[in-house]
A and B are shown apart, each in its own frame.
Chain A
């Protein structure tokens, strides 16, 4: 099987043959990667939008979009074109600079976080030694975008929505961080490729048994809250009185908020898949055996995307099943339940790591 890293390697060899200047080579490669990344993220958000609507329809005993394009696959394209044609209003009394910059901040921070994610063996944009820390810290910057959007809209409801959103995201980041640390402690490294390689004899969710299971459940709950999806979507709840921090946005800027939301969904599920479910590592049990060799026939990126989309499906499942939590119940959940459990969990994980009681 041709792996993705072989493709990238051959392209690199061809390019370095054509361009001799080192910096020019780097810049060309960065440009190619950038364009491919932008294109694939847009494709990804289209696909996720379509998947969301089809999954919702499946849960609600109806067909989803099925008119535009074969089986409705071009529905999101039609929606995007519609958004492009809409008038991008900037309210008169709004803070124009902040108003226009806020969506860009959200999208840029989201795209920055794509860098360390490992799609396949050796196929990573940037394999930095602080991969997990980088993801965790850069995704926190998106709160600024939300608060800017809410404040600059000069609208009571947007402000309320943005404040709630900000409080929610900042609180749940703690739980996410602590559950990521559980895996980091077991692996001993923040580097993404190390974490994936350490799961060569079994995924952490199986090897790490109880504490990792707890960390995984907390991670799923906290990341649903982090990306403002139901049942934690109070900030953009349509049937509450506020319509959210992006009330005043229309046209392309609104589309950018939507894009950022879907890419965020992909990123948290990718992180969950990488850290807890083995990333691109096939399902292995123990050391070299026939089962592992059989599993290896399925290429790495198929495993990675399979796991990520499974987690995305689970998070979409939550949205269409549960009612919404109230803001005080939401914050209650984090500060009184998830955070103490996470902290005790870290203790457990450390003890297990020291004594080697994991598999």
Chain B
């Protein structure tokens, strides 16, 4: 379709194998070069924020599992932290440590899926199967303990819903050993591949100023040199008692974003390893009233999901349901940077850029 100005406009999506979710991109082309990219959102807008205004403080947590469904645990953690902040209740140690382990397992599963889909988008089909091999193992651990593979709904305000399965510790240790060896395999297959490197190096450059201005977070911002890891700067749960590095990069291109996520997988493994042998005994949930009523005020909690900083703003008027819930979604801000980095690149690069931005559209649309 040629518009009146003579521009060639094409639509990518909303149904498309390489947009991760229902994302409609309108791309203005000049031959093979992209002049402008405009995302059209709202295909999976479920108005979660409005729904939460009629759910109780115990119920609203579970509607967020379906936002960034690959970091379901971490989303639930953010919501529970907001309520706990409002109540002023202290989560028992055992629950804190287990929550952290589950969050890191979720991060590993999410990065594994991202890696598989990255290969798939660029044409290498095999990494997808290798990545899912690991993900299946993590899903099995989750299923045994939490009862569900994807949307676990295991975290409640004050702690956890139930205690972990007896096999949890041994299976997680097995996973750590297996995953460590497999990351080296991943590097052999995809990271060291010249074709892959050529398709991602110097593609989609995001400068540090642009990363800050566009409000990006997570690996996207860290690749441009912005130190923004919530686990380091505003630690929550058990993150203040583990040693881990915040992986920063300088190049700001797709390759850097890729390498950072691979290194983050290793850091996650190290965090789990530090915690898995020392889970303290004790309660798994703090005592809270059956019907939770938060005092009047605003409470903001933030966590580091696999994709960036998720913030939950709870505005309470003293009742048993929230007055307003706002989810500060990392993918929303990361997506806003797409128009900036895609200008002047080729269509094939657009796919590589979207793969490294690692968007999950239900999180953008909420």
Contacts and interface: CB of A to CB of B under 8 A. Distances in A.
A and B touch in the complex (CB under 8 A): yes
Interface of A: 56, 59-62, 156, 230-231, 233-234, 237-241, 320-329
Contacts of B351: 239-241
B123 interface: yes
Contact of A321 (B122, B124, B347): B124
Contact of B18 (A231, A240, A325, A328): A240
A326 B349 contact: yes
B126 A60 contact: yes
A62 B10 CA distance: 37
B198 A329 contact: yes
B102 to A, nearest CB: 27
B193 interface: yes
Interface in B114-158: 119-126, 128-130, 133
B347 A240 contact: yes
Band of interface residues on B: 20 to 34
B195 A62 contact: no
Nearest to A238: B17
Contacts of A320: 124-126
A325 B199 contact: yes
B190 interface: yes
Contact of B119 (A61, A62, A237, A323): A323
A230 B125 CA distance: 10
B181 to A, nearest CB: 15
A239 B18 contact: yes
Contacts of A327: 32, 346, 348
B188 to A, nearest CB: 11
Contact of A240 (B125, B133, B190, B348): B348
A235 to B, nearest CB: 12
Contacts of B125: 56, 60, 320
Interface in B329-366: 346-349, 351
A290 B22 CA distance: 68
Contacts of A156: 1, 10
Given A238-B17, A327-B32, A230 B133 contact: no
B123 A322 contact: yes
Contact of A324 (B32, B122, B349): B122
A323 B122 contact: yes
Interface in B175-233: 189-190, 193, 195-196, 198-199
B41 interface: no
B133 A323 contact: no
A239 B121 contact: yes
Given A240-B347, A322-B195, A233 B123 contact: yes
24 contacts: A60-B125, A156-B10, A230-B123, A231-B123, A238-B17, A239-B121, A240-B347, A240-B351, A320-B125, A320-B126, A321-B124, A321-B189, A322-B124, A322-B195, A323-B122, A323-B124, A323-B199, A324-B123, A324-B124, A324-B195, A324-B199, A326-B346, A326-B348, A327-B348
